[in-house]
Amino acid sequence: MRYRKLGNTGLTVSEIGFGTIPILSGNVPVLPDYYSPDTETAINIMTHALNLGCNLFDTAIVPEYGDAEIKLGAFAKRVGREKIIISDKSRFFTGNEIYEAVLTSCENLGTYADIYFAHQVDPGNAEATFGPYGAVHALTELKAEGKIRFTGIASHYYDILLRGAKDPRIDVLQGSGNILERGMLDRIERESAFSTKGLLINKVYAAGILPGYFPVETLIEGVLSYPISSALIGLGTITEVDQALTGDFSSEHRPDYREILSVLKKNFSPILCDRCQKCYCVHNTEIHTVFRQFNYYFLGKNYWALRKLDLNIRESAESCNRCTDRSCMKQCPRGLKIPQLMNQIRNLTEAHIRNSII
Ligand code: SF4
Ligand code: SF4
C-alpha cells in the first residue's frame, strides 16, 4: 500500500480508502452491492483491510449508510482508534442541523471523526451550506471545539467542489469520478485551487458497474493517475478487499478515453459524455445526469436508470424542442448534439416503460 498527503491536514492516507456502504445492513438503492454482514463479520473485513495497509475508512451518518457508522465505530474500538482515519458525513446544510448531526455521528461512532463532510452539496443547497450560519460555519466551529479534526465538502458538482477549494475554511473535498466519468477529474487536475486541499474520490467503480467491464487494476490506477489523496472503494467481502488492496497500481496508467469507449461499444453505443459539467441548460435540465442514466441503463442499472429518466425526460426533451438558445452545445467540448440525444433518450425511455408495463 502506498500513502499520499491529505492536502494540508498533516494526515497521510492510504491511496485506497475503505468505503463502508457494502457493509451496511439494509438497502441503499443504486449503490454498490451490499452484503448486510453482522457487526463481527464487518469488523473482520475492515481488519483485513487495515492489515493490508488501508488506514482511511469512509462512512455516513445512520441511516444514510444504514448502520455502517456504528460498525465502523465498533471496529475503531477493537483495533485502536489511533490506527485509523475516519471520514464521516451527513446531508445537512444549515449550521444548526449539521452541528447536531456531528454530535449524533460521534455518539454512533463512539469516537470523533477525523474529517466531517457536508454531504451531497448541490446547486440548490450551496448557499445555505457556504453562507452565514451554514454547514461550513458550523463545521469550522466544531473543528475549533475539537469535536472533529477537519472540515469537508462532498459533492458531485464541479462548481461546488471548486467553491470548496477556494474556501479557506474547508480542509478536504470529496468528489466522484472514474475512468469513464472523468471530466471532473480532468478539470480538477488543471485547476490550481485544488492543490492545497485533501481530495477523496468515490464512485471509482461507478456504483459497482465498471468491474463487469474492466479489471479493478485499470479502474483504480486510472483514478490514482489524477492528483487525488485517496480513491474510496466500496468493500463488502474479504475477496473484494484482496482485489482492491493487493494489486500493483504503481504504474498509475490512465487508459485513453477512446480505449474505454471501445470496450463499452461492444455492448451498446454509449453517449460520449465524460460528465465534465461544462454545459448549462437554460431550462435547468441536468444534462450530464440524464446522459449518465442513459449509459447506466445499458451498463446494468436498467431499472434504476429507467425510473429516474421517467421522472423528467419528456419535459427535458420538450424543452429542447422549444429551445432557441441551445448554448449547451457550444459549451460541450465533445460537440454532442444535446437536443437530439434528449429526444433519443425520451424515445428509449417511453419504449422501455411501455414494454415493462406490457
Ligand atoms: S437545447 Fe435543451 S439542453 Fe440545451 S439549453 Fe436548450 S433546453 Fe437546455
Ligand atoms: S454534455 Fe458535453 S459539456 Fe455536458 S457534461 Fe457531457 S461532455 Fe461535458
Residue 194 alpha carbon to ligand 2 centre in Å: 21
Same domain, 191 and 124: yes
Q: Is the CB of 287 under 6 A from ligand 1?
A: yes
Q: Which of 257, 287, 314 finishes a domain?
A: 257
Instruction: Indicate whether 236 belongs to any domain.
Output: yes
Instruction: Indicate whether 262 belongs to any domain.
Output: no
Same domain, 232 and 314: no
Q: Please tell me the residue having the least CA distance from ligand 1 atom 2.
A: 320
Number of domains, the chain = 2
Q: Which atom of ligand 2 is nearest to the CA of 183?
A: 8
Instruction: Indicate whether 77 belongs to any domain.
Output: yes
Instruction: Indicate whether 170 belongs to any domain.
Output: yes
- pLDDT digits (tens), the chain, 358 positions: 999 999 999 999 999 999 999 988 876 654 556 678 899 999 999 999 999 999 999 999 998 888 999 999 999 999 999 999 999 999 999 999 999 999 999 999 999 999 999 999 999 999 999 999 999 999 999 999 999 999 999 999 999 999 999 999 999 999 999 999 999 999 999 999 999 999 999 999 998 889 999 999 999 999 999 999 999 999 999 999 999 999 888 888 899 999 999 999 998 899 999 999 999 999 999 999 999 999 998 888 877 788 888 889 999 999 999 999 999 999 999 999 999 999 999 998 888 876 765 4
Same domain, 338 and 286: yes
Q: Which atom of ligand 2 is nearest to the CA of 277?
A: 5
Residue 338 alpha carbon to ligand 1 centre in Å: 7
Ligand that lies nearest to the alpha carbon of residue 339, given by its number in the listed order: 1
Instruction: Indicate whether 334 belongs to any domain.
Output: yes
Same domain, 210 and 293: no
Same domain, 107 and 201: yes
Beta-carbon neighbour count of residue 146 at 10 Å? Answer: 8
Nearest-angstrom CA–CA distance, 139 and 89: 11
Same domain, 334 and 217: no
Domain that includes residue 318, residue range? 268-357
pLDDT recorded at residue 68: 94
Helix, strand and coil percent figures for the chain, each rounded to 5: 45, 15, 40
Give the mutation target among 278, 294, 320 for probing the ligand 1 site: most ligand atoms within 8 A of CB.
320
Q: Please state the φ and ψ torsions of residue 266, each to the nearest 5 degrees.
A: -65, -20
pLDDT recorded at residue 250: 82
DSSP letter for 94, please.
Answer: B
Ligand that lies nearest to the alpha carbon of residue 319, given by its number in the listed order: 1
Q: Which atom of ligand 1 is nearest to the CA of 319?
A: 7
Query: What separation in angstroms does the CA of 38 have from each of 27, 42, 184?
Result: 14, 6, 36
Same domain, 22 and 43: yes
Same domain, 90 and 183: yes
Q: Which of 257, 284, 301 finishes a domain?
A: 257
CATH number of the domain at 142, please: 3.20.20.100
Burial of 47 (0-12, 13-18, 19+ CB in 10 A): middle
Instruction: Indicate whether 31 belongs to any domain.
Output: yes
Same domain, 16 and 113: yes
pTM listed for this prediction: 0.94
Residue 39 alpha carbon to ligand 2 centre in Å: 42
Q: What amino acid is encoded at 169 in this protein?
A: R
pLDDT recorded at residue 32: 55
Query: What separation in angstroms does the CA of 296 have from each of 121, 233, 270?
Result: 23, 19, 9
Same domain, 223 and 92: yes
Q: Is the CB of 279 under 6 A from ligand 1?
A: no
Same domain, 345 and 197: no
Q: Which of 233, 257, 281 finishes a domain?
A: 257
Same domain, 238 and 285: no
Coil vs helix vs strand at 178: coil
